[in-house]
Chain A
């Protein structure tokens, strides 16, 4: 950058300064690279270390404070037999199936509709996706009000004169879990829409044309040709929503706090309950490990499938 003739003219003092500066720069480089390796190592240690730490605690008799006396799988077997854990998993299943299937259905419907060269596309997309920017605490609080029979929709409709109207799912033991699904669908279906739409838009124009020339009705065109063409994205969305369902915690906390009774308890709520309400650190950790195992059951097949697909595509670039 500086021409060599300039430094030659200015004599040995400057060149010594420059060589000093070069030594300094080299030292900074080494230091920076070493620092980057240390940060990376810390990140790896965090992920692996904290996971193993919780697994270890799950095998001990820790209560309020960690206590590293080994007790084997006692907490696991006790949890598996406990009613609250079984109910939590049944709830998770009901909530998860409803949430994932309805979110995908609405997401696909909206993506296909928006794909019809509509006016105000950006406005619709912005409206459909904005719930993803909100926290589950906000979503849960507001939906909790709307679904609450004494101040929400039921009260409103009765105020209009239809006195027999009932909509009290949120306080009904058998139906409450579906109200959690409603709020979760509201929050995440726009996300499914956005990914599906991106997938449809990335398809070759030829595929659209070929499908149209075929003379198929628009509905058949999507069901037979276009949606199957984006199946990798559909699979991604399914997995992401499933893991979101498994991790749901705040939403239940804000809407029903697990009630009525334990009718809307999910595994995540049980984990927290054991760890910080009952002071059963060991049992809570065992619950957390089982939650992790459930997540792996969802994610691992997907990761393996993706690896196989990538390897299959590799020769073509």
Chain B
């Protein structure tokens, strides 16, 4: 009786791990597939499908993907678009985080009449679909003479990111003890002083979460990128799509695989090294 139960237990444990490993295989398959394909030649892939192990390692795929493959008539590989994405994501991440910290600070520790409503409206921006903002942005960018520029996309992401960053920071700062702030106010400290001396030193945890969240989202964003940029000004997601839309040449799956991995690398690295904060960002947006 006891024995059969313990073997049942062991069998249950085995089944448990079998299911977990099977799901792990499901999640890893696409990554493994692109990784292996990035070393395979086009002939090999068309003969035996994208699921296969390279016969010979073709490093040229990576070199071409980075520097010389033609995307939409421009033969410079994926690298210039990677740099475009860096030029958009880095300043937009930092500035939208700064703006969110200020907004959050104002809304939680300097409450005014209507600050709850203001917060509600800003939070609504989190849910507002991008399609509601495309036409106004198109008109605004044209008026500012920023259509089809990296600066224009950066501006969009700073403004667009504000809702998320404000939500994160405000929900963090409401937990700062009011006494701390009030006694500083009594001592004559002002808006900026309290921010710099008290609030900012308490902020690293939420700022890391916000920066990781913003960077991942901006790097991965596609709709604004495809709508408001062309040719060499595209961010990397839009360039990848142009890559696969190439009808003039046969699709170079091997080179494209390398390009896909290069484009995905920054956010994968952020995830691997900041996974804890990434998860916190996901849940902070979800469970308020």
Contact = CB atoms under 8 A, between A and B. Distances in A.
Co-assembled chains A and B: yes
Interface stretch (B67-75, B173-181, B201-209, B261-269): B261-269
B23 A110 contact: yes
B16 A145 contact: no
B244 A141 contact: yes
Given A132-B282, A237-B286, A143 B30 contact: yes
Given A133-B216, A133-B271, A198-B283, A50 B190 contact: no
A57 interface: yes
Interface residues of A, number: 92
B241 A254 contact: yes
Interface residues of B, number: 84
B16 A116 contact: yes
B11 interface: no
A130 B135 contact: no
Interface in A132-148: 132-139, 141-146
Interface string A264-295: 00001001100110000100110111011001
Interface stretch (A87-95, A96-104, A151-159): A151-159
A125 to B, nearest CB: 8
A29 B193 contact: yes
Contacts of A109: 19
A146 B102 contact: no
Interface stretch (B58-66, B122-130, B146-154): B122-130
A31 B33 CA distance: 55
A142 B135 contact: no
B54 interface: no
Contacts of A37: 106
A252 to B, nearest CB: 11
A26 B59 CA distance: 61
Interface in B130-173: 130-137, 139, 159, 162-163, 166
A47 B124 contact: yes
B135 A66 contact: yes
A138 B240 contact: yes
A40 B103 contact: yes
A103 to B, nearest CB: 13
A156 B135 contact: no
Given A130-B271, A133-B278, A135-B219, A44 B132 contact: no
B48 interface: yes
Contacts of A249: 130-131, 222-223
Interface in A225-253: 233, 236-237, 240, 243, 246-247, 249-250, 253
B107 interface: yes
A39 B268 CA distance: 32
B237 interface: yes
A28 B106 contact: no
B121 to A, nearest CB: 5
B121 A47 contact: yes
B1 interface: no
A181 to B, nearest CB: 14
A134 B237 CA distance: 11
A129 interface: yes
A311 interface: no
B31, B50, B130: residue with the most chain A Cβ atoms closer than 10 Å: B50
Nearest to A54: B132
Interface string A122-133: 001011111111
Interface in A152-183: 152-153, 155-156, 159
Given A43-B162, A137-B222, A152-B49, A299 B127 contact: yes
Contacts of B240: 137-138, 141
Nearest to B159: A46
A246 B129 contact: yes
Interface in A32-51: 32-33, 36-37, 39-40, 42-44, 46-51
A200 interface: no
A233 to B, nearest CB: 7
A119 to B, nearest CB: 8
B121 A292 contact: no
Contacts of B223: 249-250, 272
B33 A32 contact: no
B279 A194 contact: yes
A142 B34 contact: yes
Given A135-B264, A135-B267, A195-B283, A40 B253 contact: no
Contacts of A126: 272, 275
A57 B162 CA distance: 24
A191 interface: yes
Contacts of A236: 286-287
A44 B285 CA distance: 19
14 contacts: A40-B107, A47-B125, A50-B133, A50-B136, A113-B16, A130-B271, A135-B237, A136-B220, A136-B222, A194-B282, A253-B222, A287-B131, A291-B132, A299-B127
Interface of B: 16-17, 19-20, 23-24, 26-31, 33-34, 45-46, 48-52, 99, 102-103, 105-107, 110, 118, 121-122, 124-125, 127-137, 139, 159, 162-163, 166, 190-193, 195, 216, 219-223, 227, 237, 240-241, 244, 253, 256, 260, 263-264, 267-268, 270-272, 275, 278-279, 282-283, 285-288
Q: 9 tightest A-B contacts by CB? A: A135-B220, A29-B190, A133-B271, A156-B49, A155-B49, A33-B191, A288-B131, A32-B192, A47-B125
Given A152-B51, A240-B286, 4 more contacts: A124-B24, A132-B278, A254-B241, A295-B127
